[in-house]
Structure 1
Amino acid sequence: MTYDLSDTLSDGYEGMGPVISNILHAVTPLVAGRFVREQGQTQGISITDMLNGGARFIDFRIMYTRGPDRAIGEKDWYCLHGCESQKKARDAINPFGPWMDAHPQELVVLWASRHGNTGACGTDQYPDTTPQVRQAFFKQVQEVFGELLFNSTQRLNETSVLSLQKRNQRLVWLATDYVESTESSPLAVDAKSIDNQLVNSGHGRLDSTAGGPKRRDSSAQNRFLLMSMAAGVAKEAIEECAATSGVPNMTFCPKKVIDMAYVEGAADLDVDFPNAIYLDAMDLGGLIRTGTAP
């Protein structure tokens, strides 16, 4: 949701205590807010454009905070990545329902957390909140998605895509702080089941960390294998990619990572894709920005 960031640092910012976080929340709109926002912005198109472009896994980061440009007043749930979003988290999920109604075969997975941590619970996950406050947001989630929410009394790894389509349970809500935030609801999946792989070496080869055996092992344990493609890769790999593709000043080469797994996987069962990848700089039509210019 970083396409919607304000110039206000969110309460509960990663690595800062509540006092410093509160001070910076009030100060950043006046001083350095734009700079902080630019460091945290990883996407530039709306959620509807992302869905139209093929995105089916959404890294949905949220925090209970005062609204942007407000030093006092009531708190609500906003999205965040350093700075907080301009619109509330409830408004951010509203477009999913109509889009999924218009695309009855599609499945979407949302992972709700504060900063991509699968294990932290309670106020370690969402500072300065109560279970009641967290549960109130999940009730909003249920109001938006209704029957679309996957019922986790069925194990996700044993449920076929066709079954999900027939039951119309096509929205998987992966919840951090699952027990308290959702009251262990069957309409959510515990985010502790995410096997979150961060690769930051060589070409970022999918087969080395998230290959066939790794995914089969995760599936047997009812885990969701996720790989970040936001990590850096070797400078030589970027230069080679830029030379062969004709795109100057590249900062990321998706072709190197994705094509390798696709081509090698055709002949080698030990090479495969994870359940999902997440990456920066998606653009209209499913394109990916590979440099600093549009």
Structure 2
Amino acid sequence: MANTVNMVLDNELRIMPKLPALILLVTFATTHGVVWDCDKQTSCATCTGMSHLLDAGSPTSAGQSENPQHLEGEEDEQLGTQLIGCNWCPDDNSCHAYGSLFNKCSSDTYLKFPDVCPTDYPSSTTPDFLPDWMGSLNAVLGNLTVLDLSLPGTHDSLTYDLSTTVSDGGIDDYPELSKILNLFSGSVDIIPGQIEDFIRQQARTQGLTITQQLDNGVRFIDFRQMKEGEGGWYSLHCLESNNLSFTYLKEIKEWLQLHPQEVVVAWITKHGNGGATGDDAYPGVKAEDKQAYWSQVVDLFSDLIIDTTVSSPNSTSLNDLIARSHRFIPYLGDYEEFASDDLKKYALDGSLVDNQLGSSVETEVNSYQSEKDAFSSAAETKKNDKLSNRLYLRSMATSSPGCQIEAAAYMKFDPFANSDDQIKSCTSGCFDIPSLVGWCPTSLMDVAQMGAYYKQLTLEMAYNNFDQGWEFPNAIYLDSLDVDGTIRVGTTLPWGVEKDDDVAEHKTSRYPYADTLIGFNVKLACKLGQGDEEKCTEFTNMIDERRKVYEIEVWDDGKYGRSKDWPQ
């Protein structure tokens, strides 16, 4: 990440000598109506997705791999670029030219970037069944423990709400770089916020809010946080969250109060390393600050949090957890320093999370095999982990290869770069997917949805091989959670950014992630003799019908990395 950000800064500085011409062009455009073509954009995604700086001669210039937007009659032959800036006004659902003096939004609220456009989510309704699945299935699940179950989870669960402020602890192993970015980011942007938004696009893994995630069946939360200097605690993934981390904890508590038969497990760390301690866990944060914060968390969940002197994840049934109101179970990173002696009983040591990472989509052949191996042996791993209250967590999250981030940065910030070369270096140098041709993922969510397409194959395989002894871990965390507890495997991003020349009927294809894990829990409980035959049949049939709504789909897309017969 350090090299990438420095490269981005270097590229912006290369453009600086052209700034006088660019400034004149901006002034002319915003006062004489040159970019009034913004008015023609009818959605937030297409409006904000228009590149601010284009190479007039290349259809795949900076940012154009997703949304080609060339406007006629706006070329400057000497400069060889077009300057376009469009902002979306959510108050009147209209698109406006950046800096327009005569066609302003009806309020001061503008959306400047596609990734802050509203996520495609039916906000007026909540899903059926998923908000209360533990309670609805109590007749077969009630006597099982948390460490018997497999919980649907999300990776970097709070990244749907990232700001454009680089976190003090956001770029692991590069604390000085974080300070530099905090000081200088934004100062050399042609359009303010571009560097920061680029970082956000490489950091955001989720489109749904924490409440929506819980409503969609998630019961394992990857809760990451950091104390920001002399300020409060924020969530983070490179950038800090818009709100204090306490805000999201309050949402979880309020949700639990509305769903009295549900149990939520949270893994609270800085960067998913439950075994890190002291400065390795939270650089520069004093023990007294950690303990003061944890005291506030315990007070917040006082009538809902587990008391480990009474309840234990490996021996206390769901029924007893619910009866005792021990329904929030935190695994706390930096446990010894974070929780004072009198408050240790309200959490489990975060190092008890057996977090197995596996491979990611850049080496999908390896990832596919490692997931098969993990699921075929999960029963034995869970059995051994349960003895010591260890929670077996499997990462099915994706990561952005450095070469992909670098290629995406060149395409976004350098209008004079050869995008064809950048795309080629990205597709052939970063990924082993043979059908990824002519397109470089420009955001982590693009990478995540491409990865989810292949994750669905191994998830479905494990579910169908239950009778052969395959199982799921105690929890899985992954990216791109979508409506109805699905993961999005199509090409359109959650906030509406579409791709050109993809397979139209699969733009928003989804896989039933939450129902698949919940269905496994029913199968396992019934195998263990929980519930009568009638209930087992009823619940199994119900889950199977739900899974058919988003039945697994595979297809060939020779541009965006979806293959029908690979890597099986």
Same fold (TM over 0.5): yes
Q: Aligned ranges for residues 62-77 of structure 1 at < 5 Å? A: 62-66=225-229, 74-77=230-233
Cα distance in 2, alignment partners of residues 62 and 29 from structure 1: 24
Q: Which residue of 2 aligns with 1:216?
A: 383
Q: Give, in angstroms, the shift of residue 114 of structure 1.
A: 0.8
Give the letter for the 1:62 counterpart: Q
Q: Give, in angstroms, the shift of residue 206 of structure 1.
A: 4.5
CA contact under 8 A between 1:206 and 1:273: conserved in structure 2? Answer: no
What is the DSSP-based 3-state SS (H/G/I as helix, E as strand, rest coil) of the residue aligned with 2:488? Answer: coil
CA contact under 8 A between 2:162 and 2:239: conserved in structure 1? Answer: yes
| C-alpha distance 206-250 of structure 1, shift in aligned 2 (>3 A) | closer
Q: Which residue of 2 aligns with 1:111?
A: 267
CA contact under 8 A between 1:199 and 1:231: conserved in structure 2? Answer: no
Cα distance in 2, alignment partners of residues 21 and 205 from structure 1: 34
Q: Give, in angstroms, the shift of residue 143 of structure 1.
A: 2.3
| C-alpha distance 234-125 of structure 1, shift in aligned 2 (>3 A) | same
CA contact under 8 A between 1:77 and 1:89: conserved in structure 2? Answer: yes
**1:33-58 Cα shifts (integer Å, max 9, x gaps):** 11111100001111111110111101
CA contact under 8 A between 1:14 and 1:115: conserved in structure 2? Answer: no
Q: Aligned ranges for residues 1-294 of structure 1 at < 5 Å? A: 1-30=158-187, 32-66=195-229, 74-153=230-309, 154-184=311-341, 185-200=344-359, 201-203=366-368, 206=371, 208-210=373-375, 211-231=378-398, 235=433, 250-253=450-453, 254-265=455-466, 267-269=467-469, 271-293=470-492, 294=494
**1:35-87 Cα shifts (integer Å, max 9, x gaps):** 11110000111111111011110101101115xxxxxxx31100000111010
CA contact under 8 A between 1:205 and 1:257: conserved in structure 2? Answer: no
Give the letter for the 1:282 counterpart: L
5+ residue gaps, structure 1:
67-73, 239-248
Q: Give, in angstroms, the shift of residue 134 of structure 1.
A: 0.6
Higher share of residues assigned strand: 1
What is the DSSP-based 3-state SS (H/G/I as helix, E as strand, rest coil) of the residue aligned with 1:78? Answer: strand
CA contact under 8 A between 1:205 and 1:260: conserved in structure 2? Answer: no
CA contact under 8 A between 1:64 and 1:77: conserved in structure 2? Answer: yes
CA contact under 8 A between 2:398 and 2:479: conserved in structure 1? Answer: no
| C-alpha distance 131-202 of structure 1, shift in aligned 2 (>3 A) | closer
Q: Which residue of 2 aligns with 1:69?
A: none
Q: Give, in angstroms, the shift of residue 6 of structure 1.
A: 0.7
Q: Which moved more, 1:150-159 or 1:198-207?
A: 198-207
Q: Give, in angstroms, the shift of residue 284 of structure 1.
A: 2.4
CA contact under 8 A between 2:171 and 2:177: conserved in structure 1? Answer: no
CA contact under 8 A between 1:251 and 1:292: conserved in structure 2? Answer: no
**1:186-228 Cα shifts (integer Å, max 9, x gaps):** 0011011010011212425655225111111111232100001
| C-alpha distance 268-221 of structure 1, shift in aligned 2 (>3 A) | farther
Q: Give, in angstroms, the shift of residue 252 of structure 1.
A: 2.0
| C-alpha distance 204-29 of structure 1, shift in aligned 2 (>3 A) | farther
**1:86-112 Cα shifts (integer Å, max 9, x gaps):** 100111211111211111111101111
CA contact under 8 A between 2:265 and 2:328: conserved in structure 1? Answer: yes
Give the letter for the 1:54 counterpart: G
CA contact under 8 A between 2:263 and 2:327: conserved in structure 1? Answer: yes
Cα distance in 2, alignment partners of residues 234 and 257 from structure 1: 18
TM-score (norm 1): 0.87
Q: Which moved more, 1:80-89 or 1:280-289?
A: 280-289
What is the DSSP-based 3-state SS (H/G/I as helix, E as strand, rest coil) of the residue aligned with 2:183? Answer: helix
> Kindly, what percent of the aligned residue pairs are identical?
37
Cα distance in 2, alignment partners of residues 259 and 235 from structure 1: 20
What is the DSSP-based 3-state SS (H/G/I as helix, E as strand, rest coil) of the residue aligned with 1:58? Answer: strand
5+ residue gaps, structure 2:
1-157, 190-194, 360-365, 400-430, 437-448, 495-568
| C-alpha distance 259-291 of structure 1, shift in aligned 2 (>3 A) | same
CA contact under 8 A between 2:276 and 2:333: conserved in structure 1? Answer: yes
Q: Give, in angstroms, the shift of residue 234 of structure 1.
A: 6.8
CA contact under 8 A between 1:3 and 1:41: conserved in structure 2? Answer: yes
Cα distance in 1, alignment partners of residues 244 and 212 from structure 2: 19
**1:246-280 Cα shifts (integer Å, max 9, x gaps):** xxx94422431222111111x123x1110000000
What is the DSSP-based 3-state SS (H/G/I as helix, E as strand, rest coil) of the residue aligned with 1:174? Answer: strand
